[in-house]
Amino acid sequence: MSIVGHLINGSLSEAAERTQDVFNPATGEATKQVALASKETVEEAIAAAQAAYPAWRNTPPAKRAKIMFRFKQLLEDNAEQICAMIGEEHGKISHDAMGELTRGIENVEYACYAPELLKGEHSRNVGPNIDSWSEMQPLGVVAGITPFNFPAMVPLWMYPLAIVCGNTFVLKPSERDPSSTLFVAQLLQEAGLPDGVMNVVNGDKIAVDTLLTDSRVQAVSFVGSTPIAEYVYATASAHGKRCQALGGAKNHAIIMPDADMDNAVAAMTGAAFGSSGERCMALSVAVCVGDEAADSLIEKMTEAMQGLKVGDYTDASNDFGPVITEAHKNKVNGYINSAEEQGATIVVDGRNPQVAGFENGFFVGGTLIDNVKPGMKCYDEEIFGPVLLVVRAETMDEAMQLINDHEYGNGTCIFTRDGEAARYFSDNILVGMVGINVPLPVPVSYHSFGGWKRSLFGNLSAYGPDGVRFYTNRKTITQRWPSSGVREGVQFSFPS
């Protein structure tokens, strides 16, 4: 059985005291193993990044950008192979994997803009013969810790921008689906990146804790569940590091009585069940204003869900694939069970679907649950599976209050034809990413991605302008050249 190893200082390594099985979630079979890095292996990667930093820091931004241009082309040339790797280990259907990769490539394109992003600001004659300017300088060695659900896209949120800003990088991807992440990093090496600038260490908590506590690591980016995000942020901050830690979500959609229900149902079907609901931006709660809207949604959604196809990644006619592990399958089914036990109505039951030829796969079918209320476990917690909950509210204000009261504030949307309602919603909802008739309001690469409340720990969001701010330190320089032969008196007052 092959072993997925590490990329350290430009070379592949299978160094491991321990290994862990990597599964094909559609078959339930272990297909390879991943090396779990020891503390010493992670420290080797950090040392390689630290050694590469001085030369890379002084490489002109235009030359860094040229490498990213070549990297972008290599990603496009190898897209089918990357998507197959994602499908084999994550279970994501080929068209969904291609969408993930495309959004990741957009962030590489943004990184290609480095000379513009890093040019700083200049003011001449802020005082007599005094000039002042700012520079965006890199931090040093920075690290990323990424989740299983987007093994290509989320790492591409982090290291292309960090690297073009002049930093060196150590990535710890998910050990559940590591192959595509490692392969993409190898493509960056092929694009001409100097050895040691980009390093990948596969591992578990030992690797994470080493990155969080090593004094040579200046900043940490993280995407994952809220409990781990909170741990990462607290630990990194306690060790003097800059940290952005993106956590979980419970994304609500408000369905107004005037909504175009057919379009709303079509939009929500993809947003709720795409990628098996394993997205931090998955739309998991529909809050219907009025029973008429709720009944119409239930009727049309039930009909739409009859045609959903769940299966293996190689069949592009499938809508979504399995969840990542058997344990997660049981967890998602447990949320459905709890909803039923707590008085909700299971309208469409996706527990234990039969997928011919893949009887041992980790599949959960699309599930629709009505009459859900706050306080139910399925409502309060993030399910991270293909489950759509329906909550009934009497007014728009009541619906918005549900969203504002929830501990998560990642994404939300409203379906309406009323511009006044849409404007009021976007102005007053306490959520970081808002859609108006857009169910997955994931910002494009030149904006920034991040939620509010317990969906983001740290002051700066991911990628885009906030990403540049996160991966750089602003330095302001004030300069004066006095005229020769002119003697100046001592000044004790504060300069103005």
Active site residues: 280
Which of 68, 1, 62, 65 has the alpha carbon at shortest distance from 33?
1
In this structure, which long-range contacts are made by residues 391-396, counting pairs with CB atoms below 8 Å and at least 24 apart in sequence? 391/252, 391/285, 391/286, 391/287, 391/288, 392/287, 392/288, 392/290, 392/291, 392/294, 393/287, 393/288, 393/289, 393/290, 394/289, 394/290, 395/289, 396/254, 396/256, 396/289, 396/421, 396/424, 396/425
Which of 244, 223, 195, 249 has the alpha carbon at shortest distance from 52?
195
Element (H, E) at 475: strand 472-480
What backbone phi and psi angles, to 5 degrees, belong to 28?
A: 80, 10
DSSP 299-354: HHHHHHHTT--B--TT-TT-SB---S-HHHHHHHHHHHHHHHHTT-EEEE--SS--
Cα–chain-centroid distance for residue 449?
Answer: 8
Tokens representing residue 436 in the block: 């108006």
Position 4: which residue type? Answer: V
- For CA atoms 109, 114, 118, 122, give the dihedral sign: negative
Q: How far apart are CA 335 and CA 139, in angstroms?
A: 43
Q: How far apart are CA 305 and CA 266, in angstroms?
A: 10
Burial 113-147 (b: 16+ CB within 10 A, else e): bbeebbeeeeeeeeeeeeebeeebbbbbbbbbbbb
Question: Do 470 and 236 meet the contact criterion of CB atoms below 8 Å apart?
Answer: no
Tokens representing residue 55 in the block: 């030369």
Element (H, E) at 477: strand 472-480
Cα–chain-centroid distance for residue 130?
Answer: 44
Position 172: which residue type? Answer: K
Q: Which residue's entry shows tokens 């009727």?
A: 299
Q: Which residue's entry shows tokens 């002119």?
A: 486
Which of 367, 370, 330 has the alpha carbon at shortest distance from 350?
367
What backbone phi and psi angles, to 5 degrees, belong to 415?
A: -110, 115
Question: Do 434 and 131 meet the contact criterion of CB atoms below 8 Å apart?
Answer: no
In sequence order, what are the residues at sequence separation of 6 or more whose Cβ sits closer than 8 angstroms to the Cβ of residue 8? 41, 44, 45, 48, 199, 200, 201
